[in-house]
Amino acid sequence: MRVLGVDPGLTRCGVGVVEGVAGRPLTMRGVGVVRTPPDAELGHRLVAIERGIEEWLDEHRPEYVAVERVFSQHNVRTVMGTAQASAVAMLCASRRGIPVALHTPSEVKAAVTGTGRADKAQVGAMVTRLLRLDAPPKPADAADALALAICHIWRAPAVNRLQQAHAAAAAARAPRTPAVRPAAAPARKVSR
């Protein structure tokens, strides 16, 4: 499985591609940051993020895109920018028919470090270890993007089984409609 992780942000949007399956060693295929100037118009910044993500999608051809789920913070302006960058990533993937998964920061931290309260340094250290890198990716947005991809690879099998179980349970609960027999054709008068 090849996953593009996206840590959304208007100034720095972290991107990282990880390949592998749960229970096996994972491989980093690429990591970086899509940057936009803070003084540029919002529309221009979103277009720049779109172009950057499209380039990553073209180059790496991921099967899934994992995006950090935006959560409420005290700074509404920061949340709005993050949400807008997140929407761009989801749009780019969806336009290509690539499934998108959203993971909360605490889910990602727990998957990678074992605790949902890990700090950025702990996430970077574990990403370095799990992907057998020489040093933590810089800036932290890049390491966070790789952590998102790792989280998705590890969680996807369980999530898929859960979704299949929910679908099967829903199908079992659905009311069964009786088979409908076609109505008999009306008798015709035969003239003699």
Active-site residues, by number, are 7, 68, 141
Whether the Cβ atoms of residue 53 and residue 35 lie closer than 8 Å to each other: no
Q: If we measure between CA atoms, which residue out of 120, 107, 89, 100 comes closest to residue 150?
A: 107
Point out which residues pair with 28 in neighbouring strands: 18
What is the residue type of 169?
A
Whether the Cβ atoms of residue 118 and residue 79 lie closer than 8 Å to each other: no
Structure tokens at 152: 């998705």
